[in-house]
Amino acid sequence: MGRARLEIKYREDRRARIATYWSRMTGVKRKARELSTLCGVDVLLASFSPEIQTVHIWPEDNSSFRRVAERYRGARAPIPEVPSPLLSSQPSPPVLSSPSPPPASRILEQIQSMTRVLDEVKERVSVLEAVGDDDDICALLNMDMLMSFPSFSFEELFSCDTHHI
């Protein structure tokens, strides 16, 4: 008796759905164990089924699960460069990699830089409003935007509307 390929769609029959859950969960845990063993990586698996009120985790002991979860939380920081295992005689420990966002300090620096430029432009506007006429103000504002904010389109830069500052 061969296996039939199961169509991937929601199982309407409750018994079939629960049986599918148990067999698939067993297979996913087996694959997680194989991936961890063969590739030397930490694998973390958690599944909650409200229908049968059960939680499945892998690794199955709580201490191992928490250890991997803590390593993941710590790995979200920039990962130091690891020397190639081919160059060293000792095997290096597996490194958990995940896509990490740009460092918050760099984003904060960019925001502060943009805020300084915006403050300078506002200061120039107030000085020019007190001294010059509208055409001079418009020309100088467009030049400031051209120098400070290269993402503006030419239509925005050369229109005499100053509402986008």
Of the residues 33, 60, 75, the one at which a domain ends = 75
The count of structural domains within the chain is: 2
Q: Classify residue 9: in a domain, yes or no.
A: no
What pTM, to 2 d.p., does this model score? 0.42
From 1, 56, 69, 50, select the one nearest 24 (Cα to Cα): 56
Q: Classify residue 85: in a domain, yes or no.
A: no
Domain hosting 146: range is 104-158
Stretch among 17-21, 23-27, 134-138 having the lowest mean pLDDT: 134-138
Using an 8 Å Cβ cutoff, are 95 and 79 in contact?
A: yes
At what angle are helices 134-148 and 104-131 packed, to 10 degrees? 160
Average pLDDT over every residue of 64-78: 79
Span 107-136, pLDDT tens digits:
888 888 888 888 888 888 777 777 665 555
Q: Classify residue 7: in a domain, yes or no.
A: no
Q: Classify residue 61: in a domain, yes or no.
A: yes
